[in-house]
Amino acid sequence: MTFEYAPAPESRAIVDIKSKYGHFIDGKFLPGKKHFATINPATEEVLSQISLGGASDVDKAVAAAQKAYTKTWSKLSGKERGKYLYRIARILQERAREFAVLETLDNGKPIRETRDIDIPLVAAHFFYHAGWADKLDYAGLGKSPTPHGVAGQIIPWNFPLLMLAWKVAPALATGNTVVLKPAETTSLTALLFAEVCQQAELPDGVVNIVTGDGSTGAAIVNHPGIHKIAFTGSTEVGKKIARAISGTNKKATLELGGKGANIVFDDAPIDETVEGIVNGIFFNQGHVCCAGSRLILQEGIADELIAKLKIRMSKIRVGDPLDKNTDLGAINSREQLSKIQELATAGDAEGAERWSPACTLSAKGFWFAPTIFTGVTQAHRIAREEIFGPVLSVLTFRTPQEAIEKANNTPFGLSAGVWSEKGSRILWATQQLRAGVIWANTFNKFDPASPFGGYKESGWGREGGKHGLAAYLKEGK
């Protein structure tokens, strides 16, 4: 006998979405001129109208941030700045459910993840950085390290509020003020965060949020009043930013794409590994820069592991992101869905073998079933390009050296995973892998104290931990 799950939808009554939003500049919401719709990707329902920021809005925001930097924020002690960060962290915890529901509505990710992962990590980032604010002089970051001034921050749609926290918390802790642009499809939680700044009585102009599209992001990057850029997004836009700031004094951290290798040796505990593989690629619909999107399996265990993985994938519940039982939600946008479909079709055409469990996908909204491709070779596009969706490419190896060569055969270098019962083998493999973050016998674990970033085309610099603070500071005078 099998029991079906009863629907367990989270109520959306807790969120109050306005019909239209302006920009948050100098502590106030200012009306925008042009607007675009933001939709719920699970239903295509229009949630609100978001302002399309132009160069004049960015100008106003930078002026407000400069004024706040000179008149208020740079005059406060680290201890005082820390108090504001603690206050923001506590308000985020108090309003956690509201943020979780809003993020799920605007992004399409399951409420289980926004509630248990995104929002707790957001609060953790503010708590962690609050603790640093008054200790910067003693952290080995140079003598009296000083902030850059105004930081321009551009974030993507895959972890909207979490990427805001990764950017805003260290910037404020180190004494910078910010102008932030959320992604076009996911601005709502950043705008709710603006309300938290008001509630925390953060001095006006310390945090400014200008919504918009790529042109708004470019206006921030090119603004002469911005001294530091922090960007997370595609490698393509990261390269444009690197070109735009070359020859200027602007500092930058770029967190870009990835094609993470998850290597499984034949002594790995199979059932635990299957769980880790599922978490590595199907967490957040695979919209994760550090996803374990290339599974590299030792030949002797490949058949057994793939059989078990297919059984486990059949249990992934795809559907209403607000349902507390849902594991895999909606793809964030029609554009992203087309990109995933295009790469999956290339996988078919190049001769890899596609498999997905039977699952009913809603006709409304943007959906893609959890998918694996076996028989993938290194030449296939699905082994080389970032798919940024719930699609796993499986390759095999015979010797440990071959595993490392395959894992490192990528222009990216963001993440990797190693599965083995042998500590010495794990240590050997992690020393050979060219990846900024490597997990052993686990995957996709995040902590504000742990620096995160990549090699090669995965970006410049690190965010999180002491390394992340350094990116927002210059040596003191």
Residues designated catalytic: 255, 289
For residue 244, the minimal CB distance to ligand NDP (Å) is 7
In the set 118, 184, 320, 327, which binds ligand NDP (CB under 6 A)? Answer: 184
Nearer residue to ligand NDP within complex by CB, 257 or 365: 257
In the set 122, 207, 218, 383, which binds ligand NDP (CB under 6 A)? Answer: 218
Nearer residue to ligand NDP within complex by CB, 110 or 160: 160
Q: Is residue 35 at the binding interface for ligand NDP, with CB under 6 A as the rule?
A: no
Strand pairing partners for 9? 323
Pair 88, 200: CB distance under 8 Å: yes
Nearer residue to ligand NDP within complex by CB, 240 or 324: 240
Q: What angle do CA 110, 153, 67 make, to 5 degrees?
A: 130
Residues of this chain, 240-279, that bind ligand NDP according to CB under 6 A: 240-241, 256-257
**DSSP label of 4:** P
CA distance 69 to 58: 16
Q: How many residues bind ligand NDP (CB under 6 A)?
A: 26
In the set 59, 134, 195, 213, which binds ligand NDP (CB under 6 A)? Answer: 213
CA distance 187 to 20: 12
Helix (H) or strand (E) holding 111: helix 111-113
Strand pairing partners for 152? 179, 229
Residues 6+ apart with CB under 8 A from 408: 261, 432, 433, 434
In the set 84, 388, 419, 460, which binds ligand NDP (CB under 6 A)? Answer: 388
Burial of 63 by CB count in 10 Å (0-12 exposed, 13-18 middle, 19+ buried)?
middle
Nearer residue to ligand NDP within complex by CB, 154 or 372: 154
Nearer residue to ligand NDP within complex by CB, 277 or 289: 289
Tokens of 113: 């993840």
Find, among 262, 261, 237, 286, the residue nearest to 387 by Cα: 286
Pairing of strands 146-147, 473-474: antiparallel
For residue 458, the minimal CB distance to ligand NDP (Å) is 8
In the set 108, 145, 217, 417, which binds ligand NDP (CB under 6 A)? Answer: 217
Compose the 322-351 pattern: x for residues touching ligand NDP by CB under 6 A, - for all others: --------------x--x------------
Pairing of strands 353-355, 371-374: antiparallel
Q: Is residue 386 at the binding interface for ligand NDP, with CB under 6 A as the rule?
A: yes
Q: Is residue 230 at the binding interface for ligand NDP, with CB under 6 A as the rule?
A: no
Residues that bind ligand NDP (CB under 6 A): 154-158, 181, 183-184, 213-214, 217-218, 221, 232-234, 237, 240-241, 256-257, 289, 336, 339, 386, 388
